[in-house]
Structures are given as C-alpha cells and as structure tokens.
C-alpha cells in the first residue's frame, strides 16, 4: 500500500517535480553537513550570531564594518538570514579569518535550531523582541517569539558573550537566565554601554553620547533615525566582546552607511530625497520612522505606505485609524496596495487631497512622478516582499517595465533582471514563475538574447570612484584597467553605468568598463551595462583586489564564491552566477599587517607601487591570454 500511495502521489504532482524537490532537499542537506563540519575546523575564528525582531541587518552590517577594519572577517550577505545562507557564509570562512558575523532568523517555532547547530556562535546579540511573525507562532504570541529568539543566548558557551538590550523587558529576562558573560546596552542604569543621548534631525545624521567604564564618548555616524542607536550600541558591544578598544572603534563607525532598505537615504536628480525603510513594515515598528519624518527639517514631508503586516483585528478599522494618525507626521500621505481604499476612509471630506490611495504601485508611481517636487522628503515604508516600493525611485531615473504585484521575490529590485526587461506582464509572470522553482539567486539572461553580441569581451575593473580612493589597494581593479587603456591608446567615454573604453589588444577588440558605483554595489551597474550591450557573464573578466594574495602576485579564478569580497558578492548576486572569470590582484602588504583597514584604505607607498606595477603587468599578460571570445567561453 505505501508503494501504491507513492505512485499516486507521483502521478498527481508530476514525477519531475517530485524528483526536483528530492534533489534540492538532498543538495541542501549536504551543504548543511559541510558547513557543520567546516565550522568545527575553524577553532581560531570567533562566530557572532545576531537576532531580534528589528535591527538585525543594521547591527550585522555595523559589526562587520568594525571587525573587518581590524582583521580578516566575513559576514552573511544583505538580509539573508536563513539556513542556506548561514551555511554558505560558514563555508566561505577561511582558516585565517578571525571573525564571522551572521544574521540569524527565528521567524517560526524551531527554525533557529538548525542554524545554531551549524553556527555554534561564540557571541550572541539579541536586539529587541516585537510582534513580528506572530501568525507563525499562533497561540504562543510574543512570549513564543521571545522563547525562539532566546535560543541564541541560552546556547552560548560558558566562556561566550551575550550582547543584550537592557531596555527591553523580555530581552532583560532572557539575560537574567544567561550563564555566559553579558554586555548590556541601552539607556537604563546598569547598562555596560549606556546611551546618554541620541539625536538625528534631518539632514543631520545620527549622533550618540555614550558612557563606558566611567568615560563618556561621542559617536558620529552616517545613519539616520534615533531608533538605530540600538544597533550602534550592539555593534560597539561586539567590539568590546572581542577586545577592541572603543577609542579605536568609534572612528570606524563614522564610515558606516545605512543598510539597504533600512533608513537609507536616496536622492534623485530632480532634488527629491527618499528615505528607504522599505524592507518590512510590521505595524508595531512604524512609530520610529514616522517620528524621524516629523522632526525632519524639510519644506514638505511625504509618507508612502505599502502593506502593513503583523497585526490582528479588523483591517478596515486598523487602516482608517492609522491613516488618521499618520497625517500629523506628513503633509502628504500615499497608501499603496489592496488595502489602500480602507485608508481613504480617513479623508476629512471629498476635497481632501492630502491623503491618497492606489491599489497598485504603477498608478502610484505615475501620480508621484507628477506630484513630487524639489526639496520633498519622502518616506517609503512597506514590505519589500509584497510591495517593492523601490520601483518608485527606479522609475524616476529610467522608466522600468516590471510593475507586477506580489511577484514572489524577496530581493530588492535593483538585483532583479526583470526590472528593465521589456515584454508583456504575462510574459514576465511566466518567466518569474520559472525562476521561483530554482534557487534563490536567479540566472542572468540579457534582453534580446537571440541577437547577442558576444564578439567583444568586456574587462571590468572594480573600485571606488573619487580622487580620495586613488592609489589605494581597494582600487587595484581600476588601476589595472587604467593601465590597459593607456597602453593601448584607449579613450574613456562616460555612460550612465560608468566609463567605457574600446581598445584593440593583439588584434582583438575589447571593451574596458569602470562601473560608476561604489565597490560594494557594483553589480547592478554592471548588469545594466551588459544587458544594454547584449552581453553575458561569459563575456566578462572581472579585475579586483584580493587581501589574501601577496602584493605583486596575481591569480586567475574561473568560478566560486566571493571569499568575503563585497564587490565580487554584489556582481555575483546581480548576475545570478558565480561562473565569472576573475583576475585577483594581490594587495596584502609584507610583515604582520593583517588589518583590513591598513590594507584597503591606506595609499600605497612608492615602494609598494613598484609591487603593484608588477601585478599590473602580470594582470595584463593574463588578460591577453583570455580575451579571445572562444577562450572566454571555455
């Protein structure tokens, strides 16, 4: 009978689909086992796990910024905090790495168990406990959420360290049961790192005054919103936990920028400033960004609200109530989505134009394109998985083609190949459905693929635009590409994606490309350039710096992970493949200097420049062996 029932299941669901599910289950299981085994070999690496209902990603990014400035480290990518990405982050951690920072999800009962078995963290951070994902916890409520989050702290070793928010009663209760060392952070008395004050009034960034071990410190950041002070405190707690003095850490935080979609400031060429807080929008978390908007110094304030989540009760009453409340924070409020009509019931009368509602984002984008004016400060608050509000910004720069509602992707649109792809909505829908059956990173497919121009390879140099970055190790990719252009009489031309030069190397036409984007967000600009020129990742060679290779030496890599290099990570995520040829230019200085800050941010000395020149010569020779189109595709 079991065999007959299995055959019936195959017949109902389709044999191919069943086999596909079994394949991915086995594949991921092997990945988890490999990560578990690899973690046990990394005895000199300190693993940091970060969880909470809010502030995880910002805390992870800040902690990674601090730790990577002092020693080799890696971190989980973007907002990825699920099993597979934790496993991949562990596997990308090399033996000489001192730190590995990961964000750990706990969005349903028991979910953290597998993550913690693989990660086995030495340091645990718990930011705050809110009513996120309360539907998944059913009758358990917020106490069930707290119990799941607490696993990170209760599972720490006795010689481990917990960084905990003293101002959250539930987090404090978890800490009182913790057997590991505790670093309390927050406003309350008894905090190890105590917040004395926090100010953030647009356009001024977040500034903190803190007290630690009897001394007071001023902490300047490039973040916005006083509610992000908790993430700053937690990141400082991580630094204290690993033994880095605050005097050395605080200057590093001045370089930290907001995580994508977390109070991220984006300005367009029409003088409109957007505050992107569009990753998620649980009802309980709305007050903080609205307070920031209300206190901001701006001629006009606009709030664009997408799908609200994680609240119970009558939808109509909740949206109407919220629409009434939000009017005290903004001059113009725009609701988008299937519940927008409920919010419009809060209009004062039929002539009230300060409250608008649209059932779909396309209509809202058209309205906002005509309505917004120079000097406006616009808060985007919604759920990325449901709304993809960032399309409003993208469409202002260049008309987009994908306006689907609830496409199923939870990544931001600038990493999606469908954003500018032409074709009907139905065609896009079919393509998206096919991709959703694959793994999370999607494959790169340029538009007009039937007429691909693959005769001219593209050599891409990674770096940071701006004179202040010239002659620094992180710009080795730029420097190699500049030398190639100079040697072969190339002339740089500016495009919307970056600088391009067409040169002839040994009888082969070659495009040189320098993306006009900061190193860590190179991928989207490269993807758009390749799509516009009908090229594929097979046509590319990427040149970038590598701290694991001695200065003056060069290595060729055909495929594989990013090895902690965020510029390469951005390219892999944007193109949807790690099968990209890379020329890795060594920038590791001699002696015992292993600090990333010393390697990446300090300009080369004249003696070191000779070593770089040697690497450039090797890079040019290596590229010359692989520029022929047939060789690029091997």
- How far, CA to CA in Å, does 389 sit from each of 275, 304, 385, 548, 573? 11, 9, 10, 39, 20
d(CA 59, CA 260): 13
CB 407 within 8 A of CB 421: no
Q: What are 187's two structure tokens?
A: 């406003």
Count the residues in the chain.
634
Strand partners, 356: 334
Plot region of 357 (φ>0 → left; ψ -120 to 50 → alpha; else → beta) = beta
In sequence order, the 6+-apart residues with CB closer than 8 A to the CB of 264 are 258, 275, 276, 277
The shares of helix, strand and coil residues in the chain, as percent rounded to the nearest 5, are 40, 20, 40
SS3 3: helix
Alpha helix positions (H), 126-269: 141-149, 151-154, 169-176, 229-242, 246-253
CB 107 within 8 A of CB 138: no
Burial (Cβ within 10 Å: 0-12, 13-18, ≥19) of residue 403: middle
Query: How far is the first Cα of the chain from the last one, in angstroms, to the nearest whole number?
Result: 50
- How far, CA to CA in Å, does 205 sit from each of 201, 255, 272, 373, 566? 7, 12, 18, 23, 25
Strand partners, 215: 212
d(CA 261, CA 482): 34
Strand order in the sheet with 581-588: 493-494, 498-505, 508-515, 458-461, 540-550, 581-588, 554-557
SS3 302: strand
Q: How far is CA 159 from the centre of its chain?
A: 31
DSSP string, 478-501: HHHHHHHHHHTT---EE-SSEEEE
Among residues 70, 124, 134, the alpha carbon closest in space to that of 97 is found at: 70
Sign for the pseudo-dihedral over CA of 624, 629, 631, 634: positive
474 catalytic per annotation: yes
The alpha-carbon radius of gyration of the chain (Å, integer) is 25
Q: Which of 133, 394, 474, 565 is catalytic?
A: 474
Helix axis angle, 56-68 to 246-253, nearest 10°: 120
d(CA 494, CA 338): 42
Which residues are catalytically annotated? Answer: 474
């Amino acid at each position: 009978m079991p065999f007959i029932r299995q055959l019936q299941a195959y017949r109902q669901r389709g044999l191919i689909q069943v086999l596909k599910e079994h394949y991915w289950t086995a594949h991921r299981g092997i990945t988890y086992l490999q990560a578990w085994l690899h973690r046990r070999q990394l005895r000199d690496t300190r693993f940091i796990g970060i969880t909470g209902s809010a502030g995880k990603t910002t805390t992870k990014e800040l902690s990674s910024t601090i730790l990577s400035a002092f020693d080799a480290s890696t971190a989980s990518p973007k907002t990825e905090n699920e099993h597979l990405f934790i496993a991949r982050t562990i596997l990308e951690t090399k033996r000489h790495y001192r730190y590995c920072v990961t964000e750990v999800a706990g969005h349903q009962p028991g979910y953290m168990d597998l993550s913690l078995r693989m990660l086995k963290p030495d340091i645990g951070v718990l930011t705050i406990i809110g009513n996120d994902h309360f539907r998944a916890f059913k009758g358990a409520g917020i106490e069930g959420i707290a119990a799941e989050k607490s696993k990170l702290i209760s599972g720490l070793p006795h010689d481990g360290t917990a960084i905990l928010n003293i101002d959250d009663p539930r987090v404090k209760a978890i800490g009182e049961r913790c057997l590991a060392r505790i670093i309390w952070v927050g406003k309350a008395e008894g905090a190890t790192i105590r917040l004395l004050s926090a100010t953030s009034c647009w356009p001024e960034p977040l500034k903190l005054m803190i007290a630690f071990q009897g001394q007071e410190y001023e902490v300047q950041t490039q973040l916005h919103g006083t509610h992000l002070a908790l993430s700053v405190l937690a990141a400082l707690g991580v630094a204290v936990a690993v033994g880095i003095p605050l005097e050395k850490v605080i200057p590093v935080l001045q370089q930290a920028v907001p995580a994508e979609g977390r109070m991220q400031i984006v300005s367009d060429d029409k003088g409109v400033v957007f505050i992107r807080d569009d990753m998620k929008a649980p009802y309980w978390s709305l007050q903080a960004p609205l307070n920031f908007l209300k206190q901001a110094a701006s001629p006009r304030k606009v709030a664009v609200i997408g799908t609200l989540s994680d609240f119970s009760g009558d939808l109509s009453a909740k949206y109407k109530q919220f629409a009434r409340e939000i009017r005290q924070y903004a001059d113009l409020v725009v609701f988008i989505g299937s519940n927008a009509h409920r919010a419009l019931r809060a209009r004062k009368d039929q002539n009230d134009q300060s409250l608008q509602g649209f059932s779909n984002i396309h209509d809202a984008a058209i309205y906002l394109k005509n309505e917004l004016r120079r000097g406006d400060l616009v808060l985007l608050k919604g759920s990325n998985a449901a709304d993809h509000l960032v399309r409003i910004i993208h469409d202002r720069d260049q008309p987009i083609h994908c306006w689907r509602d609830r496409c199923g992707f939870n990544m931001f649109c600038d990493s999606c190949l469908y954003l500018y792809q032409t074709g009907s909505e139905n065609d896009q829908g079919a393509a998206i459905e096919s991709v959703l059956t694959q793994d999370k990173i999607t494959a790169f497919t340029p538009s007009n693929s039937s007429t691909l121009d693959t005769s001219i390879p593209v050599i891409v140099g990674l770096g940071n635009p701006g004179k202040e970055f010239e002659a620094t190790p992180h710009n080795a990719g730029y420097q190699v590409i500049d030398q190639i252009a100079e040697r072969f009489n190339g002339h740089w031309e500016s495009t919307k994606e970056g600088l391009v030069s067409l040169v002839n190397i040994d009888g082969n036409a070659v495009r040189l490309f320098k993306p006009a984007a900061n190193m860590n967000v190179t991928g989207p600009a490269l993807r758009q350039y390749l799509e516009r020129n009908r090229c594929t990742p097979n046509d590319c060679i990427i040149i970038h710096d590598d701290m694991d290779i001695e200065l003056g030496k060069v290595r060729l890599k055909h495929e594989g992970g990013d090895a902690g290099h965020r510029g390469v990570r951005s390219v892999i995520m944007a193109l949807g493949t790690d099968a990209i040829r890379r020329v890795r230019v060594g920038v590791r200085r001699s002696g015992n200097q292993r600090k990333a800050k010393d390697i990446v941010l300090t300009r080369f000395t004249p003696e070191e420049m000779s070593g770089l020149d040697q690497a450039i010569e090797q890079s040019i020779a290596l590229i010359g062996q692989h520029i022929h189109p047939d060789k690029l595709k091997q």
